[in-house]
Chains A and B, each alone.
Chain A
Amino acid sequence: MAKGKQTCKILKEIRKQIAEENDIKLVIEECTYKGDCLGTCPKCEAEVRYLERELEKRQRMGKVAVVAGLSVGLLGASQVALAQQPDSLRMDTIVEEEVEVETPEFFGCIVETMPAFRGGEQKLFEFLGNNLVYPKEAKEAGIEGRVFVEFYIEKDGSVTDGKVLKGIGYGCDEEALRVIGLMPKWQPGKQRGKAVRVRYTMPINFKLSK
């Protein structure tokens, strides 16, 4: 396949994922253009702008926009093999109300220094991989899916107030919360050099190994 067409195909998949995760209706028509392209075209761009508008709408209604890291696995960049356990994780970040935000973007807000799991994302993957146990009930019922958990990284880096925003049941929600509760202190987020409380949303995939 020509490079432009291949890029177009991947970008289209990313748009689909964003739409699906945020319950946005997106009808993608099959591209009939025969030659190679730049990987994007006015029609593709219009879909991106549509998604932005829909995400904005959802944010105004107080909903969580799930975008950050959503398509990492699609590009094969960070496939984390966690046998019989969550196969990947993605994060979305929202700064708590008390933080003064200078430049609101169309989803999420901006904090100057984001909280970080000590040792980085890879260590976070390892931590989850080492601690998450696929619930027996879910395994027996063949349940797979994503549990969206929300928690706060306090000014001292501790993890508090974990709750499930969207669950899949069969013990997976409780398991995700249990492991979030086990997490060690993070490096706190900072705004203008001062530690701030930051809300985190983390989707955790439960996927059975084949």
Chain B
Amino acid sequence: MIPIEMTSAYIFAVSRHRLLTDGDGCTTLVTFNGCPLRCKYCLNKVSWDPLKGRLYTPESLFEEVKIDQLYFLATRGGITFGGGEPLMQAEFIKEFRTLCGPQWRLVAETSLNVPLDNVKTVDPVLDGYIVDIKDLDPAIYKSYTGIDNALALSNLEWILQYGDSCRVTVRVPHIPNFNTDQDVAKSKERLKAMGVANIDEFNYIIR
């Protein structure tokens, strides 16, 4: 039983030994429950329920994943936090960093659609962001995710302004039935103008 006052979070999967799939090196993917978006083609709908999965504290997660510390250090890998929306668990990730130390690479796969305070909390302890920005057009974004993208964009601007832009990879998907090649090109153009150096264009696969 985890006392309620401790930082804790529901996690629905801990996937080990991912090689160059979620960032550099050998990584363990940790996926949190809870997400503000309702993407039409979401691959992890199980994450929509914030109270499903297994309840972890930063300590119990660290105990479980440190088994791969040698691989993390040798390959400059570490933990990729996904979800769901990992930045909803900013305090958890911050506490996790104090346990794992500075040598593990911590990356968040995020929509950035969270309060700025969450970004400010987690930013100093993250080595990288993989941002799924969907589409920069507000109408397309809203029709696909169900919510506005203004917060995600202002958070991205904050990270680019106050952090090292090299840490940020922005993924720009072709979303069948929601955006066109021209929309994707427009998004990329705007992102470049914002100062995003690493853009990863890709196709959503509908299952």
Which residues of A does B touch, CB under 8 Å? 7, 10-11, 14-15, 17-18, 38-40, 45, 48, 51-52, 67-72, 74-78, 93, 103, 105-108, 110-114, 120
CA distance A45 to B25 in the complex (A): 19
**Nearest-Cβ distance from residue A59 to partner chain B, whole angstroms:** 13
Interface secondary structure of A, over-half rule: loop
The 5 closest A-B pairs by CB, nearest first: A110-B101, A71-B74, A70-B74, A39-B17, A67-B73
* B54 CB-CB contact with A under 8 Å: no
Which residues of B does A touch, CB under 8 Å? 16-17, 19-20, 24-26, 67-71, 73-76, 99, 101-103, 164, 166
**Nearest-Cβ distance from residue A71 to partner chain B, whole angstroms:** 4
CA distance A11 to B74 in the complex (A): 10
CA distance A27 to B49 in the complex (A): 47
Are B67 and A7 closer than 8 Å at their CB atoms? no
Are A103 and B76 closer than 8 Å at their CB atoms? no
Are A108 and B103 closer than 8 Å at their CB atoms? yes
Are B103 and A18 closer than 8 Å at their CB atoms? no
**Nearest-Cβ distance from residue A148 to partner chain B, whole angstroms:** 16
**Nearest-Cβ distance from residue B124 to partner chain A, whole angstroms:** 9
**Nearest-Cβ distance from residue B64 to partner chain A, whole angstroms:** 13
Interface secondary structure of B, over-half rule: mixed
Are B75 and A71 closer than 8 Å at their CB atoms? yes
Contact of A112 among B20, B69, B102, B164 (CB under 8 A): B102
Are A72 and B25 closer than 8 Å at their CB atoms? yes
CA distance A45 to B69 in the complex (A): 12
Contact of A69 among B26, B74, B166 (CB under 8 A): B74
CA distance A120 to B17 in the complex (A): 26
Decide: A72 near B26, CB < 8 A? Known: A39-B17, A45-B67, A48-B70.
no
For B74, the chain A residues whose CB sits under 8 A away are: 14, 17-18, 67-72
Are B69 and A77 closer than 8 Å at their CB atoms? no
Are B102 and A10 closer than 8 Å at their CB atoms? no
Contact of B102 among A70, A107, A114 (CB under 8 A): A114
For A113, the chain B residues whose CB sits under 8 A away are: 102
Q: A11-B71, A68-B74, A114-B103 are in contact. List 4 more A-B contacts (CB 8 A).
A: A10-B19, A15-B70, A52-B70, A111-B102
